[in-house]
Amino acid sequence: MNNLRIGYAEEIINPKPGIAIEGYYVPRFAKGFLSDLKAIALAIQSGSKKAVIISLDVCEIDGDSLKEVKSAIAERTGLKQDELFVCATHTHTGPCLKEDVGFVYDGKPVKEYLGLLVKQVASAAEKALKDLKPAKMGYAVGHAPDRIAYIRRYKMKDGTTMTCPPINDPNIDHPLGTLDQRVNVLRFDRENADSIVVMNYGLHADTVNGELISSDWVGWTQATLRKSLDGVKCICIMGAQGDVGSTHVNPTKSDMNDTEISFDNEMKSPGMARFVGRALAGTVLQVYDKVEYNDVEDVKIVNETFNVELNVPEKKDLPLAHKYAELHAQGRDDLIPYKAMELTTVVAEAMRMVALENSPKETEMTMTGLRIGNIAMVGIPGEPFTEIGVKIKELGGYDLLMPCALTNGYEGYFPSKEAYMEGGYEARTSRFKPTVFDAILNVADTVLKKLKN
């Protein structure tokens, strides 16, 4: 017996021009807009049980900001905070929500923006709950086309490892990892209302660059589907994308159409965002009419808190870390003997060491699981590598498993165990020891089992 009701709402969450932009370790301040940023709410009900998925066009939502958002939603809707599944789209042309982003800036506009964000997100959640209508759910798995996503970590011929090496660098040997090109698609057909698509795919929303606010490829995917499917609404939820970017390191001439090489050696431009967004919308269109419909008899959400080991620095590494962190804070990156992505790596690594200098050996984080019938979403509070997403999908027991990055908080990168030995930006800057890989998989397994009970 089908017992599903679905509601949808969205609100614009644009900041004022001038706000600091998050996503890199260089100062950027918004000069205008390429596209609107949105808070999208999907309300789900089965019987007396409810949950709300929130998608936010921000780079990340830290713990303090998340508390404000959840508290406002709970106060306005009567939902419990643990019934919320809040995801960031990870756009690198969105506003900062916190002070510690790698450069010094005026925090007042950010505090003002956070107030607007909280208000708009709570409004979207409230409207989505009021919009609940009988619905049926279908699911499918598509396959993304070539040329939109690549493993961005490479083994170099000299034996080193680089994240985002220079284009056409003759020292590049091979990528360190295997892409997961599966695109998870949920389709909710509602009575006398627009259908809703949830798309889940692992790829950094970092294809634009610059100082214009943008929802990156996410906005293009949503807009393209809306036009192609008579107003069908779309929510994009990031999959395991910690080691996945959009740059082909040995591009053909056509790969460079309407794009350019950015300061960090990647292919970025508004045109690149359009290309990726349209390609992923096309993937959804290929499977949209052939979803498998299943009855939904119940909905369940669980939150599992666990401890992970922190990557506390060794004392011998701290003097240089403090030096690099101080130079960066002073705007003197020119005195740090690295360039492009190598500079970003050593600066971020130094900031990680300084931040953890006097920290405890462990920290606590929470993973959230959401089950809709026999479909499960595993919410991870950071950026897991592709391998983590693949292994979560292999846990089985469900018709479809969807690893969801940047969900209910942001704790940083979750690399594979091998990455810590290989090196590269993500592993060197991760706050966690290699044991985090197994910890996440073990807790994901626990969450999925509790969702079944």
Q: Which residues pair with 277 in a beta bridge?
A: none
pLDDT at 22: 94
266 and 352: one domain?
no
pLDDT at 113: 96
What would you measure as the largest C-alpha separation in the chain, in angstroms? 67
- Residue 16, in any domain of the structure: yes
- Residue 306, in any domain of the structure: no
Q: Which domain covers residue 273, as residue numbers?
A: 5-301+364-452
pLDDT at 100: 67
Which stretches of the chain drop beneath a pLDDT of 50?
none
Q: Is 100 helix (H, G, I), strand (E, B) or coil?
A: coil
- Residue 265, in any domain of the structure: yes
pLDDT at 102: 67
59 and 77: one domain?
yes
pLDDT at 104: 66
319 and 398: one domain?
no
pLDDT at 273: 98
185 and 320: one domain?
no
Model confidence, pTM? 0.96
pLDDT at 414: 98
- Output the DSSP codes for 187-200: EEEETTS--EEEEE
Q: Is 400 helix (H, G, I), strand (E, B) or coil?
A: strand
- Whole-number Å distance between alpha carbons of 338 and 187: 47
pLDDT at 231: 81
- Residue 64, in any domain of the structure: yes
- Per DSSP bridges, beta strands 5-12 and 172-175 are unpaired
350 and 379: one domain?
no
pLDDT at 1: 76
86 and 197: one domain?
yes
Q: How many domains would you assign to the chain? A: 2
- Residue 257, in any domain of the structure: yes
114 and 36: one domain?
yes
Q: Pick the closest to residue 354 from 104, 102, 110, 99 (CA basis).
A: 102
- Residue 114, in any domain of the structure: yes
- Residue 418, in any domain of the structure: yes
- Residue 308, in any domain of the structure: no
pLDDT at 101: 67
pLDDT at 130: 98
The two tokens of residue 377 are: 């979403």
